[in-house]
């Protein structure tokens, strides 16, 4: 069971395995009454309050007459909200999970999908008929109806850039062929794989949570990997091969190609340990605004022991991105906020717990530390790095 004590209720006949096999990244799935509504505690006023903070990314999208759309960027103030019309607008706030701890327990309910892919929880508040218009996203999304009702339409068509409305930064399709539509009520969830065009329209005021996932493009991966290779390369230069010919001085001989290739082949390839470590670091890299400051003053082992003795809970910092893997030599690597930590294989159960859970109870950790002091050192390090914090939800 996850920390929130709830799991996403998949439709009858589906379990986590079948969801991953038949739907995840493949086809849409409507999940009626998939979540208890007690997860949705945030009020529209609180969401508007977040949108007034400078560090929070927010947008207002208004639909005017004859399909004229307007996008405004936060931070907003009370006067901005007071001047809005009665209907046809929506407020969207990104990364709410980083600021509102309650949202973290909602993420925990989605415990069948790869945790390391999760990007953020975006929350929208829409007035009647409000929405962001028809569009498709490049990543998976769970659209979670939190309050009020929203009509979702999806299309079977594959739209391209040329189908977008010109002259507006928001990606809105100029036309949309509806294949299916549903009216979502609080607690209903609609899963959409990348690229499925969708169109949500509020029927009365409503709030929708979007659990969004990361999907780096080939271009992004290539650019980051090659940058890493450049950082590993040295000052050696191309030297001349043995097959130079005095009678053909401008010819690039086979040896020249071989020597150039050799210089490059000395850099790690995508089958190397280096690549696996790089990928883990890259996938857990936080956005710049979500760096975590270290604990100050740093804790000693005795502080950790005291805290566990008092029955305190260790909680993952809401900014922390974590993943883990096992290398060919059986060493375990924990990836945290774009860094890799190599650990002995006997720590695998603890590493897994840290990577898969957001709350760790004292009573489950204390015996592990008693049996394996290295587990205590790992926790202490993560506490001092700010990745784990002490305290209740
Ligand atoms: C919304 O909450 O209105 C937007 C969600 C989406 O279409 O991705
Ligand atoms: Co979307």
Task: Report the nearest-CA residue for atom 5 of ligand 1.
Answer: 210
Q: Which of 194, 213, 232 is the last residue of a domain?
A: 213
Please report the pLDDT score of residue 66 as a whole number.
81
Q: Which ligand ends up closest to the CA of 197? A: 2
Ligand 1, CB within 6 Å, residue ranges: 90, 124, 131-132, 137, 141, 143, 198, 200, 208, 210
Task: Report the nearest-CA residue for atom 4 of ligand 1.
Answer: 132
* Cα-to-centroid distance, 126 and ligand 2 (Å): 14
Residues 170 and 60 in one domain: yes
The answer to whether 160 and 125 have CB atoms below 8 angstroms apart is no
Mean pLDDT calculated for residue range 38-55: 96
* Cα-to-centroid distance, 198 and ligand 2 (Å): 6
The answer to whether position 110 is within a domain reads: yes
Mean pLDDT calculated for residue range 320-338: 96
* Cα-to-centroid distance, 210 and ligand 1 (Å): 7
**CATH number of the domain enclosing 368:** 3.40.366.30
The answer to whether 20 and 136 have CB atoms below 8 angstroms apart is no
The answer to whether position 1 is within a domain reads: no
Q: Which atom of ligand 1 is nearest to the CA of 150?
A: 3
The helix (run of H) or strand (run of E) holding residue 359 is strand 359-360
Confidence of residue 5 (pLDDT cuts 50, 70, 90): low
Answer whether residue 265 shows pLDDT above 90: yes
The answer to whether 128 and 63 have CB atoms below 8 angstroms apart is no
For residue 236, give its domain range: 218-267
Residues 106 and 199 in one domain: yes
The answer to whether 34 and 188 have CB atoms below 8 angstroms apart is yes
Residues 49 and 149 in one domain: yes
Q: Which atom of ligand 1 is nearest to the CA of 90?
A: 3
Percentage of the chain beyond pLDDT 70 is 98
Please report the pLDDT score of residue 391 as a whole number.
81
* Cα-to-centroid distance, 105 and ligand 2 (Å): 22
Residue-wise pLDDT for 349-382, tens only, equals 999 999 998 889 999 898 888 888 899 999 999 9
Confidence of residue 1 (pLDDT cuts 50, 70, 90): very low
Beta strands in 68-197 (DSSP E): 69-73, 89-93, 118-126, 141-154, 180-184, 189-192
* Cα-to-centroid distance, 111 and ligand 1 (Å): 22
Residues 209 and 234 in one domain: no
Strands across the sheet containing 314-316: 359-360, 314-316, 388-390
Phi-psi map region of 338: left, alpha, beta (phi>0 left; psi -120 to 50 alpha): left
Q: Which ligand ends up closest to the CA of 194? A: 2
Percentage of the chain beyond pLDDT 90 is 86
Residues 188 and 225 in one domain: no
* Cα-to-centroid distance, 100 and ligand 2 (Å): 22
Mean pLDDT calculated for residue range 106-110: 90
Question: Please, where are the H alpha helices in the chain?
Answer: 16-22, 44-50, 78-82, 101-108, 218-232, 254-265, 273-283, 301-309, 348-356, 362-371, 373-384
The answer to whether position 272 is within a domain reads: no
Task: Report the nearest-CA residue for atom 3 of ligand 1.
Answer: 131
Residues 111 and 28 in one domain: yes
The answer to whether 22 and 46 have CB atoms below 8 angstroms apart is no
Task: Report the nearest-CA residue for atom 1 of ligand 1.
Answer: 124
The answer to whether position 30 is within a domain reads: yes
With the most atoms of ligand 1 within 8 angstroms of its CB, the residue from 89, 131, 144 to mutate is 131
Please report the pLDDT score of residue 3 as a whole number.
47
Q: Which residues contact 327 (CB under 8 A, 6 or more apart)?
A: 273, 276, 333, 342
With the most atoms of ligand 1 within 8 angstroms of its CB, the residue from 130, 132, 146, 147 to mutate is 132
Kindly report the average pLDDT of the chain as a whole number: 94
Please report the pLDDT score of residue 24 as a whole number.
97
Please report the pLDDT score of residue 229 as a whole number.
98
The total of structural domains in the chain comes to 3
Residues 65 and 125 in one domain: yes
Q: Which atom of ligand 1 is nearest to the CA of 130?
A: 3
* Cα-to-centroid distance, 337 and ligand 2 (Å): 27
Residue-wise pLDDT for 58-100, tens only, equals 999 999 998 799 999 999 999 999 999 999 999 999 999 999 9
* Cα-to-centroid distance, 171 and ligand 2 (Å): 10
Please report the pLDDT score of residue 392 as a whole number.
58
Please report the pLDDT score of residue 40 as a whole number.
95
The answer to whether position 282 is within a domain reads: no
With the most atoms of ligand 1 within 8 angstroms of its CB, the residue from 44, 58, 59, 122 to mutate is 122
């Amino acid at each position: 069971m996850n920390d929130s004590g709830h799991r996403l209720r998949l439709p009858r006949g589906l379990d986590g395995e079948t969801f991953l096999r038949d739907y995840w990244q493949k086809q849409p799935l409507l999940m009626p009454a998939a979540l208890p509504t007690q997860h949705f505690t945030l009020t529209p006023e609180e969401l508007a309050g977040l949108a007034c903070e400078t560090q929070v990314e927010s947008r207002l999208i208004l639909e005017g007459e004859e399909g004229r759309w307007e996008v405004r960027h936060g931070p907003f103030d009370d006067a901005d909200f007071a001047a809005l019309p009665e209907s046809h607008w929506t407020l969207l706030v990104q990364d709410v999970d980083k600021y509102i701890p309650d949202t973290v327990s909602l993420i925990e309910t989605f415990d069948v999908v790869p945790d390391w892919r999760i990007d953020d929880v975006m929350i929208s508040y829409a007035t009647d008929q409000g929405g962001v218009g028809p569009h498709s996203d490049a990543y998976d999304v769970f659209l979670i109806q939190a309050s009020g009702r929203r009509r979702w339409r999806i299309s079977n068509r594959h739209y391209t850039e040329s189908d977008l409305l010109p002259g507006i930064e928001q990606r809105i399709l100029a036309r949309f062929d509806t294949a299916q539509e549903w009216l979502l009520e609080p607690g209903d969830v609609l899963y959409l794989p990348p690229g499925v065009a969708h169109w949500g329209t509020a029927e009365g005021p409503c709030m929708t949570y979007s659990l969004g996932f990361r999907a780096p493009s080939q271009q992004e991966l290539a650019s980051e990997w090659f940058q890493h290779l450049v950082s590993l390369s040295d000052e050696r230069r191309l030297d001349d091969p043995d097959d130079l010919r005095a009678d053909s001085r401008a010819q690039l001989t086979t040896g020249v190609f071989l020597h150039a290739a050799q210089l490059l082949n000395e850099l790690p390839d995508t089958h190397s340990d280096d690549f696996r470590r790089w990928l883990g670091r890259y996938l857990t890299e936080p956005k710049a605004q979500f760096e975590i400051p270290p604990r100050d003053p740093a804790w000693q082992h005795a502080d950790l022991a005291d805290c566990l003795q008092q029955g305190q809970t260790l909680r993952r910092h809401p900014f922390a991105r974590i993943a883990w893997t096992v290398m060919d030599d059986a060493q375990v690597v924990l990836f945290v906020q774009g860094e890799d930590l190599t650990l002995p294989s006997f720590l695998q159960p603890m590493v897994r717990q840290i990577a898969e859970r957001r709350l760790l109870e004292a009573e489950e950790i204390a015996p592990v530390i008693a049996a394996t002091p290295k587990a205590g050192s790992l926790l202490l390090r993560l506490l001092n790095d700010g990745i784990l914090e002490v305290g209740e939800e």
